[in-house]
């Protein structure tokens, strides 16, 4: 007879309060709880009206989300009655809670999962301090009032310590005094904040990592009052196993550029293909949040910190699948593709920028012209320009290799009984990256590009047409360059035919 799940037993009957429940991790977390912990209590979700929809309307849309397809197959739609929307915002005073809702949370909540954050690397200090730092402080103040709190689970990031090339599972010294930073944000204009930002951030690459680092210290302050745990995911990618392999709703990271590559508009990527890229599947992150919460509550005191990462236990390098990426793109093409897909890697920003002029901007201008003529909205030139402008901000994250040591996580995995090792798997030692990226490509096709398997025959037929157009485009570019060389030399094209192979080689290297 299989052992009882200790993790599920702990959460049975418990009421959750979850921030960030409509985000990538939050949706996967809610799905996992509802599907695997049937006796869970209420899940109170902090939500704000969005796009003209009230929170009840937003909640009514949950069953329609693809992440819940498997849940609905196994359960009935009545399972969603466990979800309770609570109007609020982590960036508002008192979390934007009414006095009635705040009291409801104080009286009923047992487990808090704080996942909400602003992830925009372009944001200045004002919004990131407001949401990431002060938002966490307000969550911790609420936790202090909750009558029967069993555990507080804080979702941080491995990159809070990105000023170090190797980071360990501990809370490092705060980069600045939080009160000083809050005071600066409260008194200075945006222009003045932008001017002093580099001095405030010091070795932090952006305001996100800086404020998330400070937020961890807000959790530390309460670690003697109730059980707390900090989980630091690295780059979160589509699911490994659950709810289905390859599920994603995020366009950040590899799933985003696989989406663009499948359409044929992303053809070059700047990255160091020999470097370790620390990717971690979203379902592993969700499992680790629940397991870490169970373990912290079991110990009943102190603070536990975990890296949810792959760099030191199951490292991934793009060079290992470089030769198969395009095979996957061509095997599972998109019916919505606008150009023949082909993806290559550039080892520097300079080489990427040179390539982008020929393989991103020129085709983008052509395709935008075609969109205008057919009544569509031209977006490709603007998209490529936005990518171009963001590269300097992202360069550190593109070309830096980090090692996030995770002995606490490995030890935690060993403490799970057999049932929990299967139900709440956090050990990624058996993860096969080649198979994973095949499933991710299929997931991107289905969940981000909204294309069913039934469209594959039509997509493959269109791909053949796009390939012919692509060859004609390449031939046209080569002939144009040949003509320009002949004009510059003041001779006929036939006398410069020797330059054609050189032009071809140069063009294919871009």
Q: What is the pTM of this model?
A: 0.92
Give CA 292 to chain center in angstroms. Answer: 21
CA distance 131 to 141: 15
Q: How far apart are the first and last CA of the chain?
A: 61
Cβ contacts of 128 within 8 Å, gap of 6 or more = 118, 207, 208, 210, 211
Q: Are strands 111-114 and 151-155 parallel, antiparallel or unpaired?
A: parallel
- Range 338-358 average pLDDT: 87
Q: For residues 285 and 233, is the Cβ–Cβ distance under 8 A? A: yes
Question: In the predicted model, what is the mean pLDDT of residues 259-277?
Answer: 91
Torsion of CA 9, 75, 243, 121, to 10 degrees: -80
Least confident of 219-223, 359-363, 484-488: 359-363
Report the pLDDT averaged over residues 421-443.
96
Q: Please say if the pLDDT value at position 9 is more than 70.
A: yes
Q: What are phi and psi of 368, to 5 degrees?
A: -65, -40
Which residue blocks in 49-175 are alpha helix, DSSP H?
A: 55-60, 69-74, 99-108, 125-128, 134-145
> Where does residue 51 fall: left (phi above 0), alpha (psi -120 to 50 degrees), or beta otherwise?
left
CA dist 409 and 65 (Å) reads 31
Give CA–CA dist 446/79, Å, rounded: 25
- Maximum CA pair distance of the chain? 88
| Helix, strand, coil distribution of the chain in percent, nearest 5 | 55, 10, 35
Closest CA to 18 of 28, 8, 9, 10: 28
**More reliable by pLDDT, 373 or 129:** 129
Lowest-pLDDT choice from 55-64, 322-331, 367-376? 367-376
The two tokens of residue 226 are 């109730």
H or E element that contains 231: strand 228-233
HEC per residue, 411-431: HHHHCCCHHHHHHCCCCCCCC
Residues 6+ apart with CB under 8 A from 84: 42, 43, 44, 45
Helices (H), 75-206: 99-108, 125-128, 134-145, 178-187, 190-201
Q: Does pLDDT of 424 surpass 80?
A: yes
pLDDT given for residue 111 in this prediction:
98
Which residue reads 């996100």 in tokens? 208
> Tens of pLDDT along 139-193?
999 999 999 999 999 999 999 999 999 999 999 999 999 999 999 999 999 999 9
Given a cut of 70, is residue 1 above it in pLDDT?
no
b (16+ CB within 10 A) / e for 101-115 = bbebbbebbbbbbbb
Q: What is the pLDDT of residues 480-501, one digit of tens each?
A: 888 888 898 888 888 888 888 8
The half-sphere exposure of 194 on its side-chain side, counting CA atoms within 13 A, is 5
What distance in Å separates the CA atoms of residue 504 and residue 491, rounded to the nearest whole number? 20
Per residue in 70-99, pLDDT tens? 999 888 788 999 999 999 999 999 999 999
Q: If you compute the radius of gyration of the chain from its CA atoms, what whole number of angstroms results?
A: 25
Rounded to an integer, what distance in angstroms lies between the CA atom of residue 364 and that of residue 376?
14
Q: Residue 51: pLDDT above 90?
A: no
Number of H helices, E strands in the chain: 21, 13
The pLDDT of residue 98 is: 95
Task: Give the C-alpha separation, 476 to 481, whole Å.
Answer: 9
Query: For 7-16, 242-251, 492-501, which range has the lowest pLDDT when averaged over its residues?
Result: 492-501
As a whole-number percent, the residues of the chain with pLDDT over 70 amount to 98
């Amino acid at each position: 007879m299989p052992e009882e799940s200790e993790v599920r037993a702990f959460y049975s009957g418990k009421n959750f309060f979850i921030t960030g429940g409509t985000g990538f991790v939050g949706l996967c977390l809610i799905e996992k709880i509802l599907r695997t912990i049937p006796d869970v209590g209420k899940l109170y979700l902090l939500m704000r009206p969005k796009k003209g929809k009230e929170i009840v309307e937003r909640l009514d849309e949950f069953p329609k989300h693809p992440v819940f397809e498997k849940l609905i197959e196994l359960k009935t739609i009545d399972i969603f009655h466990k979800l309770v929307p609570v109007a609020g915002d982590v960036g508002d005073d008192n979390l934007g809670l009414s006095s009635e809702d705040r009291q409801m949370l104080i009286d009923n909540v047992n487990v808090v999962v704080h996942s909400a954050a602003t992830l925009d690397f372009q944001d200045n200090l004002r919004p990131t301090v407001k949401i990431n730092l002060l938002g966490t402080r307000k969550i911790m103040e609420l936790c202090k009032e909750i009558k029967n709190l069993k555990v507080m689970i804080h979702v941080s990031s491995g990159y809070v310590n990105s000023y170090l090339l190797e980071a360990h599972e501990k809370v490092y010294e705060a980069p600045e005094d939080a009160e000083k930073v809050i005071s600066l944000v409260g008194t200075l204009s945006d222009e003045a904040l932008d001017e002093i930002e580099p001095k405030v951030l010091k070795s932090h690459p952006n305001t996100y990592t800086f404020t998330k680092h400070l937020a961890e210290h807000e959790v530390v302050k309460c670690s003697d009052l109730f059980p707390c745990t900090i989980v630091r995911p690295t780059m979160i990618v589509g699911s490994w196993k659950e709810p289905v392999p390859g599920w994603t709703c995020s366009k950040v990271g590899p799933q985003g550029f696989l989406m663009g590559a499948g359409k044929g508009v992303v053809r070059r990527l700047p990255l160091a293909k020999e470097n370790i890229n620390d990717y971690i599947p979203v379902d592993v992150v969700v499992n680790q949040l629940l397991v870490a919460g169970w373990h912290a509550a079991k110990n009943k005191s102190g603070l536990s910190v975990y890296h949810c990462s792959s760099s030191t236990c199951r490292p991934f390098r793009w060079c290992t699948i470089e030769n198969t990426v395009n095979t996957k793109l061509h095997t599972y093409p998109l019916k919505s593709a606008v150009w023949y897909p082909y993806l290559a890697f550039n080892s520097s920003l300079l080489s990427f920028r040179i390539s982008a002029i020929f393989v991103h901007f020129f085709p983008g201008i052509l395709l935008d012209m075609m969109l205008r003529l057919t009544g569509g909205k031209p977006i490709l030139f603007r998209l490529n320009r936005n990518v171009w402008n963001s590269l300097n901000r992202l360069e550190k994250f593109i070309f830096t290799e980090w090692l996030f040591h995770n002995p606490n996580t490995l030890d935690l995995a060993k403490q799970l009984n057999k049932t929990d090792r299967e139900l709440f798997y956090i050990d990624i030692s058996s993860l096969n990256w080649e198979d994973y990226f095949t499933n991710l490509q299929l997931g991107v096709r289905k969940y981000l590009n909204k294309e069913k398997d039934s469209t594959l025959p039509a997509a493959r037929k269109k791909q053949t047409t796009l390939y012919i157009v692509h060859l004609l485009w390449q031939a046209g570019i080569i002939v144009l360059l040949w003509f320009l060389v002949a004009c510059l030399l003041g001779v006929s094209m036939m006398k410069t035919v020797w330059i054609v192979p050189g032009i071809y080689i140069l063009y294919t290297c871009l």
